[in-house]
A and B are shown apart, each in its own frame.
Chain A
Amino acid sequence: MRDPVESRPEDFATTRWTRVLAARGDSPEAETALSELCAAYYNPVLAFIRRNATSEDSARELTQEFFARLLAKHGIDSVDPQRGRFRSYLLGAVKHFLADMRDQASSAKRGGGQSPLTLETEHDFPAATQSPDREFDRKWALTLLNRAMEKLAAERRDGGKTEEFDTLKPWLIGDTDTISQADAARMLGTNENAVKVAIHRLRRRFRELIRCEIRQTVSHHDDVADEMRYLLESLL
């Protein structure tokens, strides 16, 4: 089942997350892949921990500690490779981690793994307007978008198309009244049809980059669209 548009050079069997899953985290490649993924999605974890920590400093410390432990013990044994997504895995792991921290701190009996992780805190930094889980997903989506966008910008820059990119990027969100295609064509010294074509290509490439980015974190091709919808939800 080849899908001509969707399939990119990196085959699904070799995305970072499937590599981690296949080796149960136990090969050098898997370790590298996991650390790359963790580095990429550092911010969502930090955002989540912030919501559960007493201060910005402690949030950063806890985040460092979390990743250090995660990478040291490759703790992915509990992941079902059939269903697992890196995002869910990471969120689960960070919850466990925080619960452990809490236990250590209070020796309190731990509740169910699903219970909300509210540490008793006095927040001295911006109050949560959304639940920690939702904030985690929202940050995740933002991270993903930023990564894809950086790649897109870099590609255009390498192709000597920085000006075109800067002019046409507003169309990546759809059609707006901000600037007309005629104006864009004038600014770029070309015609409207060329602009239409360029917009189409820019959108297509951005879509590919996003899908590519998501593909690194899920285990099945079918999950890509689903994950994209999920992340879109998190931004709404």
Chain B
Amino acid sequence: MSNTSDLQKCPKCGLVIPVEAPQGLCPKCLLARASLPTEAASSNAQKPAPPSIAEVAAAFPQLEILELIGQGGMGFVFKARQSKLERLVALKILPPALAADPAFAERFTREGRALARLNHPNIVTIHDFGQAGGFFYLLMEFVDGVNLREAMRAGRFTPAQALAIVPKICEALQYAHDEGVLHRDIKPGNILIDTKGRIKIADFGVAKLMGDPRPDAQLTGSGGSLGTAHYMAPEQVEKPNTVDHRADIYSLGVVFYEMLTGELPLGKFLPPSRKVEVDVRLDEIVLRALEKEPERRYQEASQVKTAVETIATSSARASTEKTIPDYFWRWFAVGVAVATFVVVMLIAPSYRFSTPANKVPTDSAALVLEQRPGGGPTISHGFGWHFKCLIPANHIARMALVFWTNGTPRISLGAYVKVGNKSTVFDHMDVTCGPVNVVPGGSDVVQWEFYPGFSANQTFGGFVPNFASQSGWVSNQPPYQGLDVAQWQLFVRPGHQLIIPLVQETGTDGIPASGFSGVELRVALETLNGPLMQTLPDEFDRSNYIAGYGFAETTEETLRLFKTLSEDRAETTPLPFDRGISLDPSDLREAKAKLAELRVTWGDHSTVIQSQRAVVKELERLSEEEPGIPADLRAAEVKLAELRVNYGDHSAEIQAAMARVKELKRLSQNHP
């Protein structure tokens, strides 16, 4: 079970585990994990308080009320024991506010009967429903287990597991649809998995029963149900009164996509096989379920089931033949053509670290990365100032590289640019910053990568050829030389903002900031067209660059300024490089919800795998432009051997590295 590595590094973050670590587990990762919100804990305080157990017990004398086990927009769920029958039940108390709607009681009775008629092994049974002690309630089968959201958080599903679960959901949906009941709110939180692995769908038809077809209420409301709207079919959002069973099929498609990739299919999303190593035939199924037009989707849930099962039976055989996963990086590399490099940094020292959701104008989509109160390397008495900067990503930071060296994070912001007719370089600035925490309510992270324990040289040597040699800002230069560097790459979605907290650090770690920090950053920005540009090679065409920046003393001012700058750019500057992601700034709502989702799961996104894909992709791109790269094949094999020291043969790292070598061999044969 334990690694025989003599250095005792954390398998998660790659940092050395201190001797005092509890149970030998990396304290940083332990606390980071424990800091993740639970679903219930993250629900908003504005929500009505649940009735007390005593109140509920008084209303239901026939039940022994045990504990509150869940709450959300649909009410409160208590675990209870039905003593006469000696069985556990789940008692759902609907939100009291519903009783105010005069039509509710009648609808509740009508819909409740339909729901109680549903009898299927994959549907949570409704034993009873009605009104008692002022509560509208549903008495349901108790499922001992977790919901799919929790299960996904506990560990990424393998494709095989997803393929086992989806047909069960299909069966339940088909049955209910045949009975004339739509679910209307299929999402991971409503799909339960009991301890024996059985799938049970909860809350069938409850959305309709509650008479709230308005998705806006869920999107812009208290925030607790953020993300629900992402599972809704487009027609469910636009014309909620006209939906039919095909809306459930769309929602199923979203869940399926998420189970396979760990992400939601937002904007111009990639097919699953381009994100993770899954059977390419699954793409068609998922994409068809996700068709915007109901007519183009599967028309019956049973069709999805049949399609999935066909693949499930043959995938074991097929998977051994699979080579390189498809090309996640195509969109990236193709886009790296011509760059705009514009920095708009708006620093608001007076910012009070409130939730950015209220602060970001709704007409400019944003990526918000925020340092929370008390965050940042502010431990010692010498700690400095907190800044906030807003970077409209469609103008500047196509990419932000976050480095972490001996406790001090640094960020490089910049864009890939085309120099002459060959290589790409990363033009950038370095800033010292606090930890970049992704918070809900403002953003979108397109890509989040983490390379634990690689030296900068290794990482960049393979990542973008010519990269290090152009800028020399990392590979063999102090202060990074010889250090293990953990790197995140925050790919900012064009049309979105990136808010990064900056801390003027006094360098207590003994490593000087490599670039700009705190006040220096401001100075650098103010002279952006000057010194920064001069670090570029001679052949660099400065006309490709447009710079803009601004400073403000208050958040409001900051946002106003930002908006003005954004609008200016939008009018005058066509965006010459599009990495294939939607530029539509109206995606703010999606972005916000996706951020919330990502924040919950980002720990699962330590995609060393994708770093390898980046290498593969980059090599492939190079091979198109400069045929014949046998040196890289050799390098890849060396890398594979190197990885083998630290990782098991079945690890994702090794698998991916092997895939790389295999692909390079194939390329070498094509270009002997």
Binding site for B on A (CB under 8 A): 1-6, 114, 116, 129-134, 137-139, 141-142, 145-146, 148-150, 153, 167, 169-179, 181, 191-194, 196-197, 199-200, 203-204, 206-207, 210, 225-236
CA distance A146 to B20 in the complex (A): 8
Please list 7 pairs of residues, one from A and one from B, whose beta carbons are closer than 8 Å in the complex, sorted by A's number.
A5-B38, A132-B380, A145-B22, A173-B10, A173-B26, A175-B12, A210-B31
Tell me whether B193 and A177 are in contact (CB under 8 A): no
Tell me whether A172 and B379 are in contact (CB under 8 A): no
Q: Is B648 part of the binding interface, using a Cβ–Cβ cutoff of 8 Å? A: yes
Q: Please, what's the 1-or-0 string for B20-62, where 1 marks a CB less than 8 Å from any CB in chain A?
A: 1111011111111111101011000100011010000000000
A-B contact count, CB below 8 Å?
187
What residues on B are CB-neighbors of A146 within 8 Å? 20, 22
Residue in A114, A176, A179, A197 whose CB lies within 8 Å of B12: A176
Tell me whether A196 and B154 are in contact (CB under 8 A): yes
What residues on A are CB-neighbors of B407 within 8 Å? 130, 236
Q: Please, what's the 1-or-0 string for B374-402, where 1 marks a CB less than 8 Å from any CB in chain A?
A: 11111111100000000000000000000
Residue of B with least CB distance to A4: B68
Tell me whether A196 and B1 are in contact (CB under 8 A): no
Residue of A with least CB distance to B407: A236
Q: Is B508 part of the binding interface, using a Cβ–Cβ cutoff of 8 Å? A: yes
What residues on A are CB-neighbors of B3 within 8 Å? 178
Residue of B with least CB distance to A170: B25
What residues on B are CB-neighbors of A173 within 8 Å? 10-12, 25-26, 29-30, 32-33
* A197-B195, A199-B154, A236-B407 known; A207+B380 contact, CB < 8 A: no
* A5-B41, A173-B10, A173-B33 known; A130+B27 contact, CB < 8 A: no
Tell me whether B32 and A174 are in contact (CB under 8 A): yes
Main secondary structure of the interface of B (DSSP, over half): loop
What residues on A are CB-neighbors of B151 within 8 Å? 193, 196-197, 200
CA distance A177 to B3 in the complex (A): 11
Q: Is B651 part of the binding interface, using a Cβ–Cβ cutoff of 8 Å? A: yes
Q: Is B145 part of the binding interface, using a Cβ–Cβ cutoff of 8 Å? A: yes
Tell me whether A114 and B379 are in contact (CB under 8 A): no
Tell me whether B508 and A177 are in contact (CB under 8 A): no
Main secondary structure of the interface of A (DSSP, over half): helix
Tell me whether A172 and B33 are in contact (CB under 8 A): yes
Q: Is B414 part of the binding interface, using a Cβ–Cβ cutoff of 8 Å? A: no
Task: Say how far B658's CB is from chain A's closest CB, in angstroms.
Answer: 15
Tell me whether B52 and A2 are in contact (CB under 8 A): yes
Q: Please, what's the 1-or-0 string for B155-192, where 1 marks a CB less than 8 Å from any CB in chain A?
A: 11000010000000000000000000000000000000
CA distance A173 to B377 in the complex (A): 22
Residue of B with least CB distance to A234: B379
Q: Is B71 part of the binding interface, using a Cβ–Cβ cutoff of 8 Å? A: yes
Residue of B with least CB distance to A209: B34
Tell me whether A228 and B34 are in contact (CB under 8 A): yes
Most chain A Cβ neighbours within 10 Å, of B34, B71, B647, B648: B34
Residue in B11, B50, B71 whose CB lies within 8 Å of A176: B11
Residue of B with least CB distance to A235: B28
Q: Is B569 part of the binding interface, using a Cβ–Cβ cutoff of 8 Å? A: no
* A137-B379, A226-B374 known; A145+B604 contact, CB < 8 A: no
Task: Say how far B186's CB is from chain A's closest CB, in angstroms.
Answer: 20
What residues on A are CB-neighbors of B36 within 8 Å? 207
Q: Please, what's the 1-or-0 string for B508-537, where 1 marks a CB less than 8 Å from any CB in chain A?
A: 111000000000000000000000000000
Residue in A6, A225, A232 whose CB lies within 8 Å of B31: A232
* A141-B27, A193-B193 known; A233+B435 contact, CB < 8 A: yes
What residues on B are CB-neighbors of A229 within 8 Å? 35, 372-375
Q: Is B18 part of the binding interface, using a Cβ–Cβ cutoff of 8 Å? A: yes
Q: Is B642 part of the binding interface, using a Cβ–Cβ cutoff of 8 Å? A: no
Q: Is B196 part of the binding interface, using a Cβ–Cβ cutoff of 8 Å? A: yes
Tell me whether B376 and A233 are in contact (CB under 8 A): yes
Residue of A with least CB distance to B605: A175
Tell me whether A2 and B146 are in contact (CB under 8 A): no
What residues on A are CB-neighbors of B1 within 8 Å? 167, 170, 178-179
Task: Say how far A12's CB is from chain B's closest CB, in angstroms.
Answer: 15
Tell me whether A196 and B31 are in contact (CB under 8 A): no
Residue in A5, A138, A145, A226 whose CB lies within 8 Å of B40: A5
Residue of B with least CB distance to A228: B35
CA distance A3 to B48 in the complex (A): 10
Q: Is B197 part of the binding interface, using a Cβ–Cβ cutoff of 8 Å? A: yes
Tell me whether A141 and B31 are in contact (CB under 8 A): yes
What residues on B are CB-neighbors of A170 within 8 Å? 1, 11, 25
